[in-house]
Structure 1
Amino acid sequence: MPVHADANIVTADALTLLLHNQHALGAAIEEVTKWLSDNGVHTVADNAYVAMQTLDTNAKAITDAITRLRQY
């Protein structure tokens, strides 16, 4: 196996762990957003929702990078 393939595997594995963290953070922000919304703090809930959208967008990019790395 070429050396760069080993590096790709290590990088893809690290990105996968970061992606799992990203999903966990998104779930936590979603819970906080719901609580904020239910308790009338709508402006902050809206800001948290925007943060969740950013996490989703970045998760897609991380997933794409993992897929590309694992192809080599």
Structure 2
Amino acid sequence: MPDNSDCKIATADALTLLLHNQHALSAAIEEITKWLSENGVGSVAANAMSAMETLDTNAQAITDSIMRIRQS
């Protein structure tokens, strides 16, 4: 059974990968939002912006968690 530090490293590494995925999703939503705005679908673009705000908020919380795990 791995020791506690190995588990913390694995957890932090997994969270880091999830954070990278979250950034990629945010970038994709941003591109779609831009296209929607340029093509007159403002209400859908506004909904996409709300989703991006949630991703940004959660990304910061994930980053903070990763830092706490890595420092412990």
TM-score category of the 2 structures, normalised to the smaller one: over 0.9
The corresponding residue for 2:8 is 8
Aligned to 1:48: 48
Give RMSD over aligned pairs. Answer: 1.0
Shift of 1:4: 1.1
Q: 2-side partners of 1:6 and 1:64: how far apart?
A: 19
Q: What is the CA-CA distance between 1:54 and the residue it aligns to?
A: 0.2
TM-score normalised by length of structure 2? 0.96
Cα shift at 1:48: 0.1
Aligned counterpart, 2:23: 23
Structure 1: runs of 5 or more not aligned: none
Three-state SS of the structure 2 residue aligned to 1:70 is: helix
Quick one: distance in 2 between partners of 1:61 and 1:8?
17
1:3 deviates by 1.2
State the identity %.
72
Secondary structure of the 2:7 match is helix
Give ranges in structure 2 of 5+ residues lacking alignment: none
Task: Note the C-alpha offset of 1:35.
Answer: 0.2
1:65 aligns with 2:58: no
Aligned length: 71
CA distance in structure 2 between the partners assigned to 1:5 and 1:65 by the alignment: 15
Poorly superposed stretches of 4+, deviation over 3 Å: none
